[in-house]
Structures are given as C-alpha cells and as structure tokens.
Amino acid sequence: MRVITGTAEAENGYQINFLKINQTTLAEAIAGELHMFSSCERSPGDYHPTLIVNTVSEPSIMLGRYQNESVCLKEEAWKYPVVRRMSGGQTVFMDEGSVLISFIVPNWAKYLKAQNVRAAPKILNDIMLSAFRTEGLSLSLAAADVLTKRGYEVGGIGFEISDKVALCECWLGMRNSLKLPFGMSGYPDLSDEAFVRKPIPLAEIMEESDFPQWDQTMAEIISLKMRWDRYQINETSWKWLDKERISGLIPRVAISSPPTVDKDLTYSRLIEDYIGFVQAGVNTSDGRMFQEIKIFGDFLADSAGMALLEEKLRWSPVKKRPVALTIDEILGSPNHVILGLKRLGSILEAIMDASGKEESELDSD
C-alpha cells in the first residue's frame, strides 16, 4: 500500500486503497485502523487515503475514546470483549454482522481542502454519507454522531484528527441494534432535554437482500467527492507484516478485564449534556492547585486538543475563572474541535464538582 514518490504511479493521479475484511474481531478491526493511522503519521507522504470495511465476527462492546469504562459499563457487560475505538461518542454494542468502516486520510489538509481542524469533521461526514448513498443506504446525521434512517438510529460516525492524519469511523448495526443489552449500561437515564436515541437494526427497515455490498464503488464516490479528476482504486489486503503489527496493537485497543478505579483521583458526578454525560477526575495539591485532571465523556473531539487541555490545567489554581478561560482558549480554537456538547460549561462544571468533592474529603479527614 506504499507509494514511491517520483514514480509514474505517484504522478498520474490520485489513489485510494480499499480493503474489505470479512469475519474479523472488533479488536482486530480497530487495531488495523490504528496501524494505518500510525503509519501515516510517521510518513504521510508515503501513503494514500485508505478505506477499510470490516464485518465483525463476534458480539463486542465498543467504547468511545473518552469514556470512563469503570462508570459507563456494569460488571455484566464484561462477559463480552470490550474495545475502545479511536473516535469519541457513546458506547455501542457491535453484534455479529455489524460493520465498522474506517477512512484514513494522510495529509488531510491537502486532500480534504480543509482550512483547519474544526472544518474537517463536516467534510468527512459529507463524504461518507455520499458514499453510503451509492450503496443504496440513504442516511442522515443527527446529534453530531448518530446515523439515522427514517428517524431511527442505525449507526454512528466519529473522527480523530492529528496534524498529519484524519480518520473517519462509521459503525452500523445490520441485523441487531447498537444498543447495549439490558442491564449493562452503568449510566442513569437521560432527561427529556437530551437527544432521544431510538436504536433499531437496519434489518427492521430494509430487506437483507438490499443490504450494501460494500464494494469499491464506495471508494470511487469518495474520490469524486474529493474532486479528483484522475484516480485509481487499489483493492488490496493486509500483508504479513501488517498483520504482525496489528496483532501487536490489539492490547492497546482491547480492555481485557473490568478496570479498577484510580484512587488517586476524585471523580465528579455525571454531568448531563446533549448526547450523554461528562465527568472529570482530579487530584489537587495542598496549595489548591490541580496536579492532575482527566476529562471523560460521550463527546467527540480531537485527542490532541483534549490532551493539551488536561496538560494546561495542571498546576493551575482551583478556581472557576482560570479553568473556564483555559477551556475556552483551547477548545474554542480553530486548531481543535469538540462536538456533542451544547456548552463547554459542562466540562467546567465537572472539573469544579470533582475539586469540590476532593476538598470536602480533605476537610473531613
């Protein structure tokens, strides 16, 4: 899948690599996209955009990137494999036959013609929705990350963006819905002010004979959406070395057992926002400075922005105004993006709630 710059292949137009992988575990699928994403980050000029369609072979639970697994899952959920995807959003249940689609774009500013990180998710969403339509699957986007058909949730879409590489992840419940089985979610019910999810499988609203074939037509439409005059589709598969690297990455995405709560952090209550919850864990010094902050939730964001926010808040005073200014400075910047929250104040509220709890615990001691 590598391109040697300066060759005829590199000069005669654009190329998309297309991989269709049947009967793979969810952990292998996400490790595969992580392998491709990491390879593109190391040398983006050597790689083409890549579209990967995975059909999941066994029931699994897929967490959003920023979720706290010790809170969002009950013990009963751990009888299934639990995997963390690269994009944010809510927990979904990927039953056998569910589909995970990954579109990895090196040099995304060039290919997507996006001026900044904030503009990239919408462009990626538009490209993927157009690709779905060519497969006979007309979907709409709701609440930042929910793919709907006739008003029902049938899938989801998320992103991860670094300086060099952009990733769009899509997941679809084909014969079974994406909703966690009863009794496995650790979350309380959302209020009427939150987005109402009505998950059903695609099989309930379309015949299985009409299911998408997931062929290279999707890659062709993506090429056209990126306004390429000349392009070629390279239908390929993982090579031996790719498979070895993917196997080595599985422990990074699979969560093998129920986690233990980090006792060094004091956690806030769950703060409800539009598409789910936000939570923070903090550790403060005796001088009332933040020593460590972890921000969890069902939102979507670029991981670099969230890491920068957590780093910037370290050793800042435990006061509402400085925290609010730092959140606004980073997440309000065109170089970072966060979606799924009606207000950035939800993050502020979670941080201050956690710090207030820690202060109360110290006073009681």
Write down the domain spans for the chain: 8-255, 266-364
Answer positive or negative: Cα dihedral of 295, 301, 307, 310. Answer: negative
**Side by side, which strands form the sheet with 254-255?**
92-94, 60-63, 82-84, 254-255
228, 14 Cβ separation under 8 angstroms: yes
CATH of 8-255, one of 1.10.10.10, 2.60.40.10, 3.50.50.60, 3.30.930.10: 3.30.930.10
266-364, what's its fold? Enolase-like; domain 1 (3.30.390)
pLDDT band of residue 361 (cuts 50, 70, 90) is low
pLDDT band of residue 287 (cuts 50, 70, 90) is confident
pTM for this structure? 0.93
pLDDT at 8: 41
Q: What is the pLDDT of residues 108-133, one digit of tens each?
A: 999 999 889 999 999 999 999 999 99
172, 99 Cβ separation under 8 angstroms: yes
pLDDT band of residue 288 (cuts 50, 70, 90) is confident
Q: How far is residue 14's CA from residue 48's CA, in Å, rounded to a whole number? A: 8
